[in-house]
Each structure stands twice: as structure tokens, then as C-alpha cells.
């Protein structure tokens, strides 16, 4: 009896010691990481190319959005962050928080690589809540070993501090038996029929092409720490696709939606899930965004809407910052099973005074005198009329010699030099352009079904806006614009 009490004490002391060490290591690593971001932030603060209403870290590199979740009254969005530089590396999870999806605050870095346990990077993943209400972040742990899926849990409901789950790793490649999955990563949890599942990306033939797959697993306990491999949910139909990253899989409007980052552009598939075999069959497919866009992630909001953010990439190197998120988009499935995306309606709160222009036609160029700015939303309803091309010019120089154009010629859109396949669909009479200009970011929606996000270059003083038509007279049913305020609770970038 005495002996077992003694050994229990030893175990407890050891456990306390180990936990204490873990906390110390975490705090030390996070202190360095935070200090590095802070030092870099001071240098980039006044860069006129930095967006003010697209989410991004205070400085340095970010890529994928991770683990969006609404938890106890707040939206939380995490992201791949390199605290130590403006290029990819040292992957941590940065953290943003918002009450209304519109105004945001930077939070302390949430996840760090646990060096003492051989972790080198904390890769992408998701948030999940167990049946007992335990919030977990589930992510890919990278070290000098095969990838593993790990979990982290918050110290309390503020979600400011996190600890690694004692059950880690929660999924390993052992689950696959004889099947070898290469590039195994990026867990995304979903529910079906009262059970919890996770999908992970990868490929079956060492990136040779033709066998890029989404794998599916079922939770075998309520704590989401034991999982069973159920096989391949989906194999990409295109033979030139080598690998799938960041799969997202969820029910929407009576169908199942699968979004895969298989290289650019990111694709979506809409179809059906056979819940017995856990195989997904696609009935429709399309492109999420034709521009500088990758690795989106999504969540359900309290009203049951599916919200999605993507990573905006392709910014110039060496500026002390690189990357941001798209605006939050609301997804729906249309009757023809295409996926529709609109900017979250809550964003209207960011609008300044509305400016409308009363003209109904345009030939040549028409400058919208009052619509100047580099943080603007523009909504235009345009038809070609007798013109060959109609569009908008933004970041236009005072003499009109320079501008960034978004245009339509009946066969395609052109968004800041990028061709985007787009024709008016049956029943569509005009082009509904919805454009968000945020300094060097241009996020464009056309009729809620084609999106393109672009990085643009313009001189800080070039801020005028114009409508234009080439080769005839185009019709302008309406044109509205708004200056857009910053999303940051504490003013600035």
C-alpha cells in the first residue's frame, strides 16, 4: 500500500515536472516568436501596400487560414505563420479574434513547434469540438519522422494559451496498414449521422500524378483521439494532379462539397456521399478563385452559414510581410450544383459614405470624381450594349496613363491582366461586378459565381476610379462605391 502510494507520488511529481518543463519551453519559444513579429511590425506599419481590411499578421509571412471556429461568442481564425521572417518557414499558428466577423484583434501566437518532442513545424489543420464540448485544434505535426496528426487544447475559454494534447499523436501512418500515403496532411473534421470523421490530403504514388487522394477516418472515441482509416473518399479525376492539400468536406444545401488545393487554381466538387462506403461522387466541378489564391479553410457560423477564407499569395518578396486572407465568403450551392460565393454581408458595416453616379451609359472613359481611394468597395451592374468591352479602372493616375482594369468582353473577364473564363449564363442580363480594392489587393466577384483575387502594384498617389467602354456605348445600370474602413480594433494595419 505504502509502496504504491510512493510510486503514485513519484509519477505525479514527474508529471508536474514534465508539464512544468513543457510550459517553460512553450513560453520561451512563444516569447521569441512574438518578439520577432513585434520587431518586424514596427518596420512594415506604414507600408502603403499593406491591406487594411484583409486579415494578415502584424508582420512576416503567413499562408493558409487554419481552424476557423465560432466559440463562446467569438470568431477565431488561425493561420500558418512564420514569426521569424517574410518567407515560408518555422510554421506556427497565428491567431485572430472577432465578435462580429468584421472587426478583428490580433491574439498571441497559438501553436508552436514543440522542439523537445521533435516537432519542427505545426502545419495546417482545423478546429473540432468533442461531444463533451472540448475544443481541439487538430493539425499536421512535422518533424524528422513521418507526418503525424496532433491535437492541441486551450488552457481556458479565452483561447489565449494552448497545450499539446496528452494523447498525441492522435493519428499516425500505422492506421493505413499496408497502404502508403505520401504527403499525408491537413486534417479537416466533419460530422455525419452522429459520427465524427476527418479527411486528410495526400497521394498514393509519390507525386507521380493520377493518384492524388482525399483519405477519410472515423473517430472511435468521444475524445477524438482514436481513429479508424476508412479508405479513399475521393481520387482526383485529372491525371496531371500530383497531390491534394487542405481538403475541405462538408454538407451544403442538400449536397456534399469537397474543396481541394491540388495546385492552382483551387477546385471544388459538388456531389453525393455514400455514407455506407464513405465514397464521394462528384456531379459538378469548378474553380474557387482564378487568382493568387490557395488553401482555403471554412466553418459554420452560428446561423448555419458556411464561411470560407482563402490564402492570398504572390506578394512581392523582401517587404517584411507577405500574405493575407481573402474576405470571409458565404458559400451556397445553386440549382445547377455550381458553388456560389459572396462576401459575408456583415462586411457592409465597414462601409463609409455611399457614392453613386447617375449615368446610364459610357463611351470612352468616365472618371468617377467622388469615388477616389485605395480602400474601396465598388458594385457595378454593366452590359456591353454596342461596346466590345466594358469595365472599371482602379488605382488610376490623375492623367489616366496608368490604371488597374477589370473588364468584360462578353467571352471572358480580365482582372488586372488575368483572363478569367466568364460568359453570362441563361437568365443573366448583365455583369454584376463586385470589387474590393484594398491597397495592393484586388478581390473580384462576378455574378456571385466567378472570383479572382489579384496582387496589384500602383503608386500611392494613384487613387482615381473610372468606368470605361471600348468600341461603342456600354450600359451602366448602377454604380455604387464606398470607402472601406480598417478591420482592426486598434487602428492601423
Residues lying near ligand FRU in the complex (CB under 6 A): 63-64, 80, 91, 123-124, 140, 185-186, 245-246, 261, 294-295
CB of 204 to ligand FRU, least distance (A): 17
CB of 36 to ligand FRU, least distance (A): 17
CB of 445 to ligand FRU, least distance (A): 23
Q: Are strands 119-129 and 104-111 parallel, antiparallel or unpaired?
A: unpaired
CB of 172 to ligand FRU, least distance (A): 17
CB of 82 to ligand FRU, least distance (A): 9
CB of 145 to ligand FRU, least distance (A): 16
* Closer to ligand FRU by Cβ: residue 243 or 407: 243
CB of 292 to ligand FRU, least distance (A): 13
CB of 171 to ligand FRU, least distance (A): 14
Contact predicate 187/149, CB 8 Å: yes
* Closer to ligand FRU by Cβ: residue 140 or 211: 140
* Closer to ligand FRU by Cβ: residue 261 or 407: 261
* Closer to ligand FRU by Cβ: residue 200 or 368: 200
* Closer to ligand FRU by Cβ: residue 64 or 148: 64
Q: What angle do CA 56, 111, 131 make, to 5 degrees?
A: 105
Nearest to 443 by CA among 293, 336, 277, 314: 293
* Closer to ligand FRU by Cβ: residue 295 or 325: 295
* Closer to ligand FRU by Cβ: residue 186 or 475: 186
CB of 260 to ligand FRU, least distance (A): 11
Q: How many CA atoms within 13 Å lie on the side-chain side of 330?
A: 14
CB of 258 to ligand FRU, least distance (A): 16
* Closer to ligand FRU by Cβ: residue 185 or 306: 185
Please list, residue by residue across 375-404, b when 16 or more beta carbons sit within 10 angstroms of its beta carbon and e when fewer do. Answer: bbbbbbebbbeebebbbbbbbbeeeeeebb
* Closer to ligand FRU by Cβ: residue 140 or 149: 140
* Closer to ligand FRU by Cβ: residue 137 or 469: 137
Q: What angle do CA 109, 113, 118 make, to 5 degrees?
A: 170
Contact predicate 493/361, CB 8 Å: no
The CA distance from 76 to 66, in Å, is 10
* Closer to ligand FRU by Cβ: residue 124 or 464: 124
* Closer to ligand FRU by Cβ: residue 294 or 436: 294
Q: What angle do CA 33, 80, 66 make, to 5 degrees?
A: 130
CB of 248 to ligand FRU, least distance (A): 12
* Closer to ligand FRU by Cβ: residue 294 or 321: 294
CB of 245 to ligand FRU, least distance (A): 4
CB of 156 to ligand FRU, least distance (A): 27
Please report, for residues 178, 213, 221, 407, the alpha-carbon distance to residue 227 in angstroms, rounded to integers and kept in the order given.
Answer: 17, 18, 8, 50
The CA distance from 249 to 275, in Å, is 13
Amino acid at each position: 500500500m505504502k509502496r504504491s502510494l510512493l510510486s503514485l507520488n513519484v509519477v505525479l511529481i514527474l508529471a508536474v515536472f514534465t508539464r512544468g518543463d513543457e510550459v517553460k519551453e512553450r513560453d520561451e519559444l512563444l516569447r521569441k516568436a512574438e518578439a520577432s513579429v513585434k520587431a518586424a511590425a514596427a518596420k512594415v506599419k506604414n507600408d502603403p501596400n499593406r491591406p487594411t481590411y484583409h486579415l494578415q499578421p502584424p508582420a512576416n509571412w503567413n499562408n493558409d487560414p487554419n481552424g476557423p471556429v465560432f466559440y463562446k461568442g467569438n470568431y477565431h481564425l488561425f493561420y500558418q505563420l512564420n514569426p521569424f521572417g517574410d518567407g515560408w518557414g518555422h510554421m506556427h499558428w497565428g491567431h485572430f479574434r472577432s465578435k462580429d466577423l468584421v472587426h478583428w484583434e490580433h491574439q498571441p501566437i497559438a501553436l508552436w513547434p514543440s522542439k523537445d518532442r521533435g516537432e519542427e513545424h505545426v502545419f495546417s489543420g482545423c478546429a473540432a469540438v468533442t461531444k463533451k464540448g472540448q475544443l481541439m485544434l487538430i493539425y499536421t505535426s512535422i518533424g524528422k519522422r513521418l507526418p503525424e496528426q496532433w491535437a492541441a487544447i486551450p488552457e481556458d475559454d479565452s483561447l489565449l494559451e494552448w497545450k499539446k494534447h496528452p494523447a498525441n499523436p492522435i493519428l499516425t501512418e500505422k492506421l493505413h496498414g499496408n497502404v502508403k500515403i505520401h504527403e499525408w496532411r491537413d486534417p479537416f473534421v466533419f460530422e455525419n449521422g452522429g459520427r465524427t470523421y476527418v479527411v486528410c490530403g495526400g497521394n498514393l504514388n509519390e507525386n507521380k500524378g493520377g493518384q492524388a487522394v482525399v483519405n477519410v477516418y472515423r473517430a472511435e472515441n468521444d475524445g477524438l483521439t482514436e481513429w479508424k482509416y476508412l479508405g479513399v473518399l475521393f481520387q482526383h479525376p485529372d491525371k496531371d494532379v500530383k497531390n491534394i492539400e487542405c481538403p475541405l468536406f462538408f454538407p451544403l444545401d442538400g449536397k456534399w462539397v469537397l474543396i481541394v488545393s491540388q495546385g492552382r487554381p483551387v477546385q471544388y466538387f459538388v456531389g453525393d456521399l455514400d455514407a455506407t462506403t464513405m465514397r464521394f461522387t462528384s456531379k459538378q466541378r469548378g474553380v474557387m478563385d482564378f487568382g493568387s489564391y490557395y488553401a482555403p479553410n471554412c466553418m459554420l457560423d452560428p446561423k448555419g452559414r458556411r464561411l470560407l477564407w482563402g490564402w492570398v499569395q504572390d506578394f512581392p518578396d523582401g517587404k517584411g510581410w507577405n500574405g493575407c486572407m481573402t474576405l470571409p465568403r458565404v458559400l451556397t450551392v445553386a440549382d445547377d450544383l455550381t458553388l456560389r460565393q459572396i462576401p459575408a454581408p456583415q462586411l457592409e458595416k465597414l462601409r463609409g459614405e455611399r457614392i453613386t453616379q447617375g449615368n446610364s451609359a459610357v463611351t470612352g472613359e468616365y472618371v468617377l470624381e467622388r469615388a477616389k481611394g485605395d480602400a474601396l468597395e465598388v458594385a457595378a451592374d454593366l452590359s456591353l450594349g454596342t461596346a466590345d468591352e466594358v469595365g472599371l479602372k482602379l488605382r488610376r493616375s490623375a492623367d489616366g496613363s496608368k490604371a488597374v482594369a477589370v473588364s468584360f468582353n462578353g467571352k471572358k473577364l480580365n482582372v488586372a491582366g488575368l483572363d478569367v473564363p466568364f460568359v453570362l449564363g441563361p437568365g443573366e442580363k448583365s455583369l454584376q461586378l463586385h470589387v474590393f480594392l484594398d491597397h495592393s489587393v484586388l478581390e473580384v466577384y462576378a455574378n456571385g459565381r466567378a472570383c479572382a483575387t489579384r496582387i496589384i502594384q500602383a503608386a500611392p498617389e494613384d487613387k482615381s476610379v473610372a468606368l470605361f467602354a471600348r468600341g461603342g456605348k456600354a450600359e451602366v445600370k448602377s454604380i455604387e462605391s464606398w470607402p472601406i474602413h480598417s478591420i482592426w480594433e486598434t487602428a492601423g494595419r
